[in-house]
Amino acid sequence: LWGSGPGRTVPVDATPGGVSVGGVHQLIGNVWEWTASRFVGQHDDDDGRWSPANTLRSVRGGAFDTYFENQATCQFQSGENPVNRRHNIGFRCAVALSDLAPEVTQYLTGVADGDLADGDLDSDAHDTAESTEEVTA
């Protein structure tokens, strides 16, 4: 997808071939995306970039006008002052599933941790077995 665009930002669903496995659109190449992470790049621990005085924030993903293909990856990052505004930097709004549906998250966490109470899944398995018997009888 890199380098094949119209030379400007496009609607997020303009490239259906660029959808991630998780169904997320435009992870690379529409606009650089701000992150909350401090930009440190390749560094030496003593060079001062870890200091609180470093206010640069990491931007990732490349943009429609990125010059080099290797910059149009999620791994590549550049640093920008958070007060800067550019035509090719944006942000992605995201929310945790736990904020949208706490009950679902608790259930899924219980399944993953094996913490379901006895019988939580047994009734479903029993209902499925009964309906299978009815179909085959």
Mean pLDDT of 61-89: 84
Where do the domains of the chain lie?
1-94, 97-136
What is the rounded average pLDDT for all residues in the chain? 71
How much is the pLDDT for 132? 39
Which of 35 and 125 is assigned the larger pLDDT? 35
- The CA distance from 2 to 63, in Å, is 9
Mean pLDDT of 58-83: 83
pLDDT in the model for residue 130: 43
Residues 104, 6: Cα–Cα separation, whole Å:
41
| Strongest mean pLDDT among 52-66, 75-89, 118-132 | 75-89
pLDDT at 9 exceeding the cut of 80: yes
State the pLDDT at residue 116. 53
pLDDT digit string, tens, across residues 111-137: 666 655 544 544 444 343 443 344 444
